[in-house]
Amino acid sequence: MALLVDIPAIGPITTDSGFVPLEACSDGVFAVGKDGVVSITATGDRKVEFIAFAEHTLAYVKSALGYPAYYPVHPVALEKPVRAVLMDLDGTSVRSEEFWVWVIERSAASLLDNPKFELEEADVPYVSGHSVSEHLQYCIDKYCPDKTVEEARGYYFEHTGREMKAIMEGGGREGAFTPSPGLKEFLHALKDKGVKIGLVTSGLYEKAWPEILSAFRTLGMGDPTEFYDAIVTAGFAMRKGEVGTLGELSPKPHPWLYAETCRVGLGIPFEARNSVVGIEDSGAGVCSIRLAGFPTIGFGGGNLVESGTRELCEHYCETFEEIAAALE
């Protein structure tokens, strides 16, 4: 495969990667050939842009809500024995992406007052892996620009609340949350080796917790809070008359969820980051892990190829058995 660009702290990116070469950063701050900028390339989904200098790289994380950010990109090198594994929830630990995309679709249908509305296949990379508000803003921009994200969030939580209640009561949409094949064996193998395990999701607590609980009930693994060493979600939704928490403007691909899980939840300092591995199936998640400074294992079944982020991973695996072998 031909070389597209060699990015400091990331390495060689091939022409088959899905990365997109740019002449300038989308905010206009940096341009190739000016102020020491050697190259600028974006992930295939255009969510993250890498501004490469001679010896270092910055990542520009875009925002559909108007709050982008720049981050330094740190080099990674997987060091063994691995001290901790950070695992994504949706798509990695539990197969639930189709369900949450369906909820976004139903929210857009409510906005349009069209119960027959369906998302297009091309929409999928933009309505999975990011925050609820990012997903909804994308739908608004494309399908109903006269609506607001606040209106969309109202419908989203209406649909989510109804479905979560039904699922917790033993009903709801069939097959909404299915543990990934081999998850139980993989988690127990990590525990047996004394490896710390953190669960990380961009999902709000009210949607993430029923999902985690449902998976553990299915697997007969007891209380998730007793099993995992740390669980970090995007917190609690901000609604009128309620207290919300930070989560909608700082989700994946921003680094904070993974950084907080490792540094605060597991107590592992930044200097030991190369002995910590993140596992993700989404492009946003892979970027989040890399910007937090951790080596990444890509998990098949998500949108890593479509989002152009597969080459940001140290390894790419289709099963937990393959991941276990990569960690040996």
pLDDT class for 200, splitting at 50, 70, 90?
very high
Residue 272 lies in a domain: yes
Whether residues 88 and 41 share a domain: the answer is: no
The pTM score is 0.87
Residues 203, 193: Cα–Cα separation, whole Å: 29
pLDDT higher at 131 or 90? 90
Whether residues 188 and 64 share a domain: the answer is: no
Whether residues 14 and 128 share a domain: the answer is: no
Of 37, 71, 105, the one marking the end of a domain is 71
Percent with pLDDT over 70 in the chain: 100
pLDDT class for 323, splitting at 50, 70, 90?
very high
Whether residues 56 and 117 share a domain: the answer is: no
pLDDT class for 22, splitting at 50, 70, 90?
very high
Residue 197 lies in a domain: yes
Encode pLDDT of 260-309 as tens digits: 999 999 999 999 999 999 999 999 999 999 999 999 999 999 999 989 99
Range of the domain at 292: 84-95+179-327
Whether residues 66 and 112 share a domain: the answer is: no
Q: What is the pLDDT of residue 181?
A: 96
Residue 322 lies in a domain: yes
Assign residue 280 the CATH number of its domain. Answer: 3.40.50.1000
Whether residues 130 and 243 share a domain: the answer is: no
Residues 197, 92: Cα–Cα separation, whole Å: 14
Residues 213, 232: Cα–Cα separation, whole Å: 14
Q: What angle do CA 328, 309, 229 make, to 5 degrees?
A: 45
Whether residues 16 and 145 share a domain: the answer is: no
Residues 166, 9: Cα–Cα separation, whole Å: 46
Residue 216 lies in a domain: yes
Whether residues 193 and 130 share a domain: the answer is: no
Is the pLDDT score of 129 beyond 80?
Answer: no
Q: Mean per-residue pLDDT for 177-188?
A: 95
Q: What is the pLDDT of residue 193?
A: 97
Whether residues 89 and 104 share a domain: the answer is: no
Whether residues 206 and 147 share a domain: the answer is: no
Residue 201 lies in a domain: yes
Whether residues 219 and 277 share a domain: the answer is: yes
Query: What token pair was written down for 79?
Result: 């060091």
Number of domains within the chain: 3
Of 168, 195, 227, the one marking the end of a domain is 168
Encode pLDDT of 67-122 as tens digits: 999 999 999 999 999 999 999 999 999 988 888 899 999 999 999 999 999 999 99
Residue 149 lies in a domain: yes
Residue 174 lies in a domain: no
Q: Mean per-residue pLDDT for 128-149?
A: 91
Q: Mean per-residue pLDDT for 3-16?
A: 96
Of 168, 200, 231, the one marking the end of a domain is 168
Average pLDDT, the chain: 93
Residue 76 lies in a domain: no
pLDDT class for 225, splitting at 50, 70, 90?
very high
Whether residues 23 and 157 share a domain: the answer is: no
Q: What is the pLDDT of residue 51?
A: 98
